[in-house]
Each structure stands twice: as C-alpha cells, then as structure tokens.
Amino acid sequence: MAFVLILLLTAACLVGVLLIQAPSGVQRDPAAYAQWLAGIQPKYGFATNLFSSLGLLSIFGSWWFRLLMALLAANILVCTVHRGGKLLRASLARRRVVMPERFFERARLRESVAIQGISFSNAETVLRASLRRSGYRVVLRREGEAVHVFSQKNRFSPVATILHHMGLVALLAGFVVGGMWGYEDPGFVVAEGASRAIGDTGLVLQLDSFVDEYYPEGPPKDYRSDVVLYDSGQEVRRATVRVNSPMVYNGVRVHQSFYGPAAVVQVQDGRNEVLFKEAVPLQWRSQERPVGSFVIPSEGLEVFVIGPASSFIDSVIPPGQMRLEIYRNGANSPLAMENLLQGEPRLVEGLSYTFIRERQFSGFMVVRNPGKPLLWSAAIGIVLGLMWVLYFPYRQLWAMAQQQGDGTWIVRLGAAPGKWGEFSKEFRRIAERMAGTAGRLGGQAQVVPMEGL
C-alpha cells in the first residue's frame, strides 16, 4: 500500500515541478486565477485551459493530493505503532545470559583473552569493569567454575526509529494542514495608496508609500514599504517592511519581494460617474514594456495598461504616456487602442479614460502556514531519530570466563551483529581493555586468537 502511494505522489510531484503551479492565494480567488491563467497562456498556448481543467496547475493544493498525503501518513502511523510495540518489548525483554561454547567458536565476531595470576573474584571484576567502561550494561551469572556475561548498550536505540517515523508522519500532517488552512501568495501586489484583501484571512493590507534607494553605480541599495494592516476593518499593525524585515501578525507574514511602476487611471461614463479610479500595478512584461490590467464589470470590459519601455527608445509609447488596450470580456481582438497623455481625458466607446499620474507598486510574499509547528516538530524528530540510530547503535555481546588446569583464565567474547551493523573495532578494543584491566589487578594477560585455544 505504502509503495503504491509513494509512486502516485512521486508522479504527481514530478508533474507539479514540470508545470507552473498557481499560488495558493490565487487558487482561492476566481478572478485572480483567471488573470494568472492569462499570464501563463503564452507559455503553454492552447494546452493552458486543458491543464487547468485537469487540475495540473494546482496539484499541491488539490484535494486528491492531500488525500494521498493523508493516506500515506496514516499508513506510516499504523506501521509505526505496530512495529514500535514489538521494538519496545524486545528492548525490555530479558536476554539469555549463558551461551554454549560452540557459540563462541562460531560467532561472527569473536575474541579471547588469556589471563594468568588472578583470582575468581578478580576474573569477575575484569569482565564487569571492562564492559562498563565501554558503556555496556552487564548481567553476570556464575555457573560452577565459569563466569557468564550478557552485556548490551544503547538498548533503546531500535526504538529511536519510532521517533524518525513519527517525524515523517508529522511532516505529512504539516503539509496537509498547511495546504488546507494555509495561504501563500508570492506575487501579492499593492499599488501606492491602494489596499487589498489577503485571501480569506479577513486581513486587508494598505500600502501608504514605497521608497527605493540606489547606489551611485545603479544597483538598488534599499527598498521598503510603509504599510497598514486591518483586521475586520480595525487597524491592527503599522510597519515598514523590508526584504529581511517582514511584518508578522497572527501567523501571517508579509515579506517585501519586488517592486515596479503603477499608473493611476480613472474611467467615467457619460454621466461623469466614476466607474474606476485606482493605481494599476504594471507588474508584467511584454516586449520589454510593463503591463497591468483592470476590469470594468458593469461594462463587461478588460483594460490593459501598457507603459513605455525603459531599455530602448519606444516609438509606440513615448515617455510620459500610457497605452490602453480595451477588450470585451472573452474577445481576442481589442475594441480600441489609445495612447493617453497625463491629465488629458480620452473618450473611447462612450467612456472617458484619464491617465492621472505615475506611482509605484510593491510586491509582497504573503504566507500563513498553520502547519509550521508540525513541520518543525517533524524536522526535529527526523534528525534526532537518525542521529540516535547512527551515533548510538545497539550493541550486544556475550562473554564466558573459564579457569584452566594451570590456573590460566580464558575469557571468550562473542557477538552476532546482525542488522545492527559491524562493530569489529570496538569489539577488539573491549578485548584489549580486559587485558589492560587484568594487568592493573596484578595479572598477566594477552589477546590470543580463538584458533590457538
């Protein structure tokens, strides 16, 4: 089940990476989505509407993608709970202490230490002290003239995989929560003097002024926006937003991102009633010219405002003028195209259009992610789980000390590393540490090959 879910999610993510995805804030606003769709039309051509109808331009915000994520999280959670109980019981289980001699002869890791000149109690001390100094928990048992030991360290390390897997569950849950109740718009544009609602958050952002400063050589030195934030009509925050100084309110973060020119345009009907009067952000580019648009719903019109190019001498739109291209809703060819001088009204199809003045717009990245605490918890859980397993691996070994007829003690060590990895170097150090401990107790010891016994 998990394998199938991972394959489906991988395929969906691949499509989502290859195709431009609509920001979450745009997806929830039909008018903004239609405008965004028109902006990518030149890239995908006739396939744009097909991709949109299939949901391929909003994959990561789609219900089915979130469902796949939730199913994968549930699958991991069930497996983790099932496996976690087994691991915990295994970590707490009593282990066999006495192992037969053939185990030490056939163990994948085996060492032996020959010790002379120590007593029975000192033999126990050698085993216990050497293993404890290496960080092992020791269980010792006497049987006749032999001493048997089972020792282990990091006994709960296998359980750390639970922490890692729970981190994965939190990661998927954070994605689902952020996708369902979060908001993100990397191209949130507001012109000077204008205000705009932030999605469905109940917040409205107003841009009082925008300031940009430049170095003498030309590159931008600083750009900042003086903004006011309203919550349910009440002013709740004033701030100066810079690139690295966002405004934060109730989990909503407003980051300065970009800026550009805007044009204040007024439209009046034959009775001199104002149908539209706002600063239009010229936030797109077409043939090196800045472009913006607005709609007049009562007249069924969409108006594109085009500024003069800055990279070459523009013979079509001279400096100080703005060009209007007026379309009927759904039409492919313009109803009219007119250049407007600043302050001079122009009558087009019964409506008066006036280019009042130039202003600036400010582009923000607006983010609200209620799944962020889950994502941080996931990161901590995954990293700690991995570090625990990698740097504190589970180790277990057995030892048996027997006194020979000449009084020499032979200590045999054996371990079956299995899936917890090899630890031959550490195993060898333990044998050498036993020899050193025996020497400090007045005995003579050396590590000898098992084949020589």
- Backbone φ and ψ for 287, nearest 5 degrees, come out as 55, 45
Distances (CA, A) of 433 to 396, 398, 411, 440: 17, 15, 12, 11
Per-residue pLDDT, averaged over 74-100, amounts to 86
- According to the model, what pLDDT value does residue 303 have? 94
User: DSSP letter at 149?
Assistant: E
Per-residue pLDDT, averaged over 51-67, amounts to 87
Per-residue pLDDT, averaged over 399-409, amounts to 89
Per-residue pLDDT, averaged over 263-280, amounts to 93
Query: Are the CB atoms for 115 and 409 separated by under 8 Å?
Result: yes
Residue-range domain boundaries for the chain: 97-155+394-452, 183-368
pLDDT range class, residue 113, cuts 50, 70, 90? very high
Q: Single out the residue of 121, 114, 148 nearest to residue 441, CA to CA.
A: 121
Query: Tokens 């970590």 — which residue?
Result: 91
- According to the model, what pLDDT value does residue 358 have? 93
Tokens of 403: 């006194």
Q: Single out the residue of 425, 441, 446 nearest to residue 128, CA to CA.
A: 441
Counting every residue written for the chain, the total comes to: 453
Q: Rounded to whole angstroms, how far apart are CA atoms 141 and 401?
A: 11
Residue 85, C-beta contacts closer than 8 angstroms, at least 6 positions apart = none
pLDDT range class, residue 383, cuts 50, 70, 90? very high
- Backbone φ and ψ for 230, nearest 5 degrees, come out as -115, 140
Residue 334 burial by Cβ neighbours in a 10 Å radius (0-12, 13-18, 19+): middle
- Ramachandran sector of residue 409 (left: φ over 0; alpha: ψ -120 to 50; beta: rest): beta
Q: Single out the residue of 266, 195, 188 nearest to residue 32, CA to CA.
A: 188
286 pLDDT above the threshold of 50: yes
Per-residue pLDDT, averaged over 47-55, amounts to 88
pLDDT range class, residue 401, cuts 50, 70, 90? very high
- According to the model, what pLDDT value does residue 282 have? 94
- According to the model, what pLDDT value does residue 452 have? 43
270 pLDDT above the threshold of 80: yes
In CATH, the architecture of 97-155+394-452 is 2-Layer Sandwich (3.30)
**Distance linking the first and last C-alpha atoms of the chain:** 53
Query: Are the CB atoms for 376 and 177 separated by under 8 Å?
Result: no
Alpha-carbon torsion angle 138, 142, 148, 153, nearest 10: -10
pLDDT range class, residue 418, cuts 50, 70, 90? low
- According to the model, what pLDDT value does residue 420 have? 47
Residue 236, C-beta contacts closer than 8 angstroms, at least 6 positions apart = 229, 230, 249
Q: Rounded to whole angstroms, how far apart are CA atoms 361 and 388?
A: 50
Q: Single out the residue of 448, 437, 442 nearest to residue 412, CA to CA.
A: 448
Q: Rounded to whole angstroms, how far apart are CA atoms 318 and 333?
A: 23
Secondary-structure percent of the chain, ordered helix, strand, coil, rounded to 5: 35, 40, 25
Sign of the CA dihedral with 21 first, then 25, 28, and 31 last = negative
- According to the model, what pLDDT value does residue 423 have? 79
Q: Single out the residue of 217, 219, 187 nearest to residue 26, CA to CA.
A: 187
Supply angle C-alpha 16, 19, 23, rounded to 5: 70
